[in-house]
Amino acid sequence: MSSTAITLPPVTGAWRDGDPVGRRQWITLPAPLALEAGGELPDVRIAYETWGTLAPDGANAVLVLHAATGDTHVTGPAEPGHPTPGWWGDLIGPGKALDPAHWFVVAPNVIGGCQGSTGPSSIAPDGRWWGSRFPLVTPRDTVAAETVLADALGVERWACVIGGSMGGMRALEWAATEPDRVERLMVLAAPAVSSAEQIAWAACQLAAIRADPGWRGGDYYDAAPGTGPHAGLAVARRMAHLSYRSPYELATRFGREPQAGEDPFHGGRYAVESYLDHHGDKLLRRFDAGSYVRLTEMMNAHDVGRGRGGVGAALAGVRARTLAVGISSDRLYPVEEQTAIAAGVPGGRARTIDSPYGHDGFLIEWQTVGRLLGELLET
């Protein structure tokens, strides 16, 4: 009788020292990172990838900022060190909007992330995992860290900063915090400030992870494979993914069809349930629950107007040529939030991508995104 071996998921899907490096490069901040919420984070390391070469005048640098469960691997195949293919690969390459023959593209892994930069799954200076001790890092804090990276790379001014979802929050913070260092700004499917509804979506996800016995208060990194907070993280991802897609797409793609070979009347699943299960389970092998919690809290803390006299005053101080792009069917960050950004920034422009894919349209509608980015880069 034959048997099939079952591979248990690792306690965390984080990249760790000793794993294949892939295309990553690193920089370590020379001093502790002072945090907006108080205190500081020592020994901060940023992982990043680059494409192209910085021009002698430094005028061709583009910063690409990833969403919550993204990483440095914007383009390229799945390979040792990179468990999934590039998440926005159609934007970078010969003849594409960000052609490395012309542009120097930089993509850092966010502080608090789990794919090479310092986060909860990293080792702290005392030799133990950061775990529950890892502090709140806000989008503004990530900008402070990434300015050090820009300085180290010789980038005095970004020709463009672009990001979607959490990356869009960070991109907007770049333009508000360092207005003289951002020439162009492209914000996709992101708000100027996280709303009560968005925080509520996040609260349910955080509760799912924290209710998992494997969470252990955030200090689970020494647990055996298969015993981490996998159930909670998978449920959180199911919730999040539901907010990323539109009711129209779910209805037309799945309807009320049962999953093949299963009967919902006798313990089986509907096809849409199987779809959410797939996305929940897939995340376990490439992401970390601790980072999911901290980055969700980062998004909840997003408010470009905090300490700047409000959102209106903060947007009025942005000097970048700004394009705010919304997705017509986005129910997580509705189009009116991008319209408000464009209206608040002097000379800002708003565009809407007509898409049935909901929030994830900023990733899926790559041809339109590439065209809009190309137009912005030509201005």
Residue (of 169, 168, 164, 294) closest to 236 by Cα position: 294
Q: Is residue 165 among the annotated active site residues?
A: yes
41 Cβ contact list (under 8 Å, min separation 6): 32, 33, 35, 111, 118, 135, 137
Q: Is residue 330 among the annotated active site residues?
A: yes
Q: What are phi and psi of 284, to 5 degrees?
A: -55, -35
Residue 366: per-residue pLDDT? 93
d(CA 224, CA 231): 15
Residue 196: per-residue pLDDT? 98
Catalytic residue among 71, 288, 330, 360: 330
Side by side, the strands of the sheet bearing 321-327 are 25-28, 45-51, 104-108, 61-65, 160-164, 184-188, 321-327, 349-353
366 Cα distance to chain centroid: 16
Q: Tell me the average confidence (pLDDT) per consecutive run of 10 residues in the chain, 379 residues long.
A: 58 95 98 97 98 97 98 96 92 96 98 98 97 98 98 98 98 98 98 98 98 97 91 97 96 97 96 96 94 98 98 98 98 98 98 97 96 96
d(CA 232, CA 212): 5
Residue count of the chain, please give it: 379
Beta strand 25-28 with 160-164 is unpaired
d(CA 338, CA 35): 27
Structural domains in the chain, CATH included, are: 25-194+303-377 (3.40.50.1820), 199-296 (1.10.1740.110)
Residue 1: per-residue pLDDT? 38
Q: Is residue 279 among the annotated active site residues?
A: no
Catalytic residue among 117, 121, 165, 291: 165
Residue 6: per-residue pLDDT? 58
Tokens of 129: 């995992």
Strand partners, 353: 327
End-to-end CA distance of the chain: 67
Contact status, residue 378 vs residue 334, Cβ threshold 8 Å: no
**C-alpha dihedral sign at 88, 106, 64, 206:** positive
Instruction: Count Cβ atoms below 10 Å from residue 325 Cβ, excluding itself.
Output: 29
Q: What is the CA radius of gyration of the chain?
A: 20
d(CA 313, CA 176): 10
Q: What are phi and psi of 252, to 5 degrees?
A: -80, -30
Q: What is the pTM of this model?
A: 0.96
Secondary structure of the chain in the HEC alphabet? CCCCCCCCCCCCCCCCECECCCCCEEEECCCCEECCCCCEECCCEEEEEEECCCCCCCCCEEEEECCCCCCCCCCCCCECCECCCCCCHHHECCCCCECCCCCEEEEECCCCCCCCCCCCCCECCCCCECHHHCCCCCHHHHHHHHHHHHHHHCCCCECEEEEECHHHHHHHHHHHHCHHHECEEEEECCCCECCHHHHHHHHHHHHHHHCCHHHHHHCCCCCCCCCCCHHHHHHHHHHHHHHHCCHHHHHHHCCCCECCCCCHHHCCCEHHHHHHHHHHHHHCCCCCHHHHHHHHHHHHCCECCCCCCCHHHHHHCCCCEEEEEEECCCCCCCHHHHHHHHHHCCCCEEEEECCCCHHHHHHHCHHHHHHHHHHHHCC
Contact status, residue 238 vs residue 140, Cβ threshold 8 Å: no
Catalytic residue among 122, 291, 359, 360: 359
Residue 218: per-residue pLDDT? 98
